[in-house]
């Protein structure tokens, strides 16, 4: 069983997948399949065949593959907020905390043995390529009313609050950080698949540090603060 777990919105699932071995297997295997084949090619029937369980058993956990994707993305944002909180614990300087948060957004993700059924590196790649499919839908307003985007909102608001500490007079902290979060996803995706749209090189050893530096320059120049 996982040492670390996160309580996500119960409206995301029929039964909490973290609570059983089958549910954890559904999460673990769906991450591998979506990262490898893409969300559009992913189906519960294929997932059932992969895990050796009837398709109907998956519907006992998730009502649709869209809700499963929402669950995975929400899990990632919750985990990332946890990482940022841990990194910034006992750091008083808001500029340092803001810089830490930005770098954690883009740093290479590694498997965390404390959460055995989630491969964070694969999940990060899913976020880069599939995140916008969670809200660019006809049901976005209804999903938002149900609180299905709260982890993303919470992460944006947390980093925006640090921006307000850095420069209380800056009027657009949430707009800035939501732009930065999407830009981080887009630049990593462009680097791997559409390299003519970015200077961030996919094969560079400095890929993630270059992207962090780019995003830091955007944020700190926008809020008129020099990086220490």
pLDDT in the model for residue 226: 66
User: DSSP 3-state assignment of 1?
Assistant: coil
Using pLDDT thresholds of 50, 70 and 90, give the confidence band for residue 228.
Answer: low
pLDDT at position 182, please? 95
111: number of CA atoms within 13 Å, CB side?
A: 10
Closest-CA residue to 217 (of 226, 207, 208): 226
pTM to 2 decimal places: 0.93
Average pLDDT, the chain: 94
176-197 tens-digit pLDDT? 999 999 999 999 999 999 999 9
CA-based nearest residue to 51, from 117, 149, 101: 117
The tokens for 111 are 């498997």
Note the pLDDT tens digit of each residue in 75-113. 999 999 999 999 999 999 999 999 999 999 999 898 888
pLDDT band of residue 217 (cuts 50, 70, 90) is very high
What is the percentage of the chain residues whose pLDDT exceeds 70? 96
Q: Which domains does the chain have, with CATH numbers?
A: 10-222 (1.10.357.10)
* Distance separating alpha carbons of residues 73 and 89, to the nearest angstrom: 24
Band of residue 116 on the pLDDT scale cut at 50, 70, 90? confident
């Amino acid at each position: 069983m996982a040492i670390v777990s996160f309580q996500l919105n119960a409206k995301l699932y029929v039964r909490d997948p973290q609570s059983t071995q089958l549910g954890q297997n559904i999460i673990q295997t769906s991450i591998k399949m979506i990262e490898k084949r893409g969300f559009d090619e992913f189906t519960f029937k294929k997932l059932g065949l992969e895990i050796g369980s009837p398709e109907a058993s998956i519907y006992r956990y998730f009502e649709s593959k869209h809700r499963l994707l929402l669950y995975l993305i929400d899990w990632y944002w919750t985990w990332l907020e946890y990482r940022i909180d841990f990194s910034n614990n006992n750091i008083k300087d808001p500029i340092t905390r803001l810089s830490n948060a930005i770098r954690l957004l883009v740093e290479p993700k590694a498997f965390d043995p404390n959460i055995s059924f989630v491969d964070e590196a694969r999940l990060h790649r899913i976020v880069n390529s599939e995140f916008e499919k969670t809200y660019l839908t006809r049901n976005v307003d209804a999903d938002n009313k149900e609180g299905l985007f709260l982890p993303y909102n919470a992460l944006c608001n947390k980093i925006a609050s640090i921006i307000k500490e850095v420069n209380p007079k800056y009027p657009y902290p949430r707009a800035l950080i939501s732009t930065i979060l999407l830009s981080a996803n887009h630049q990593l995706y462009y680097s791997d698949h559409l390299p003519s749209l970015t200077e961030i090189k996919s094969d560079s050893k400095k890929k993630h540090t270059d992207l962090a530096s780019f995003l830091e320059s955007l944020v700190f120049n926008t809020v008129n603060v020099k990086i220490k």
